Amino acid sequence: VSSLAERVAAVVATIPAGRVLSYGDVAELAECRSARAVGTVMARNPTGAALPWWRVVDRDGVLADHLQAEARRRYRDEGTPLHEDDRHLVRVDMDRARWSPGPGAGTDPGRAQ
C-alpha cells in the first residue's frame, strides 16, 4: 500500500506520549532493513503529516543537535524518562522509555522496560 514514508509515519504515529523508539526499531516495524532510510524519512517527512518526531531517537536515546532544544521541551511535557546526569545533552533513558507495540504495551514510563 505504501511507500516507506507512509509505513514509517504509521508506526511513528502509534508511539505513545512519553515513550520512544529507536530508528532501528521503527525500521523493523516498518519492514525496512535500514535504520538510515528511516532517518531520511524523518528528516524530510515527505508525507507532510505532523509526526511526533521527537519520539524517534537513535539507539543511545540521542537526537541530532539541531533538534535537542525542541525535543527537551517535549520530553519535559510528556514526562519521558531522561538521563539527568547529562547537562549538555538531552538523552532519553532507553531502558525505561523504549516502547514496544503489542500486548502489554503502553505501560507507564515509570515502569522498567
Partner DNA sequence: GGACTGACTCGGT
Partner DNA sequence: AACCGAGCCAGTC
Site for DNA in 79-98 (CB under 7 A): none
Given the complex with DNA, which of 42 and 82 has the nearer CB atom? 42
Task: Please give the DSSP secondary-structure letter assigned to residue 88.
Answer: S
In angstroms, the Cα distances linking 113 to 2, 11, 42, 60 are 31, 19, 25, 15
Rule CB under 7 A: say whether 67 interacts with DNA.
yes
Q: How far is the CB of 85 from DNA (least distance, A)?
A: 12
Q: How far is the CB of 37 from DNA (least distance, A)?
A: 4
In angstroms, the Cα distances linking 82 to 15, 19, 105 are 17, 11, 19
User: Is there a contact between 15 and 74 (Cβ–Cβ < 8 Å)?
Assistant: no
Count of residues that bind DNA according to CB under 7 A? 29
- Can you name the residues that pair with 22 across neighbouring β-strands? 57
Given the complex with DNA, which of 66 and 103 has the nearer CB atom? 66
Cell of 54: 521527537
Show the binding pattern over residues 19-58: x = contacts DNA (CB under 7 A), - = does not: ---xxx-------xxxxxxxxxxxxxxx------x--x-x
- Interface residues with DNA (CB under 7 A) are 3-5, 22-24, 32-46, 53, 56, 58-60, 63-64, 67
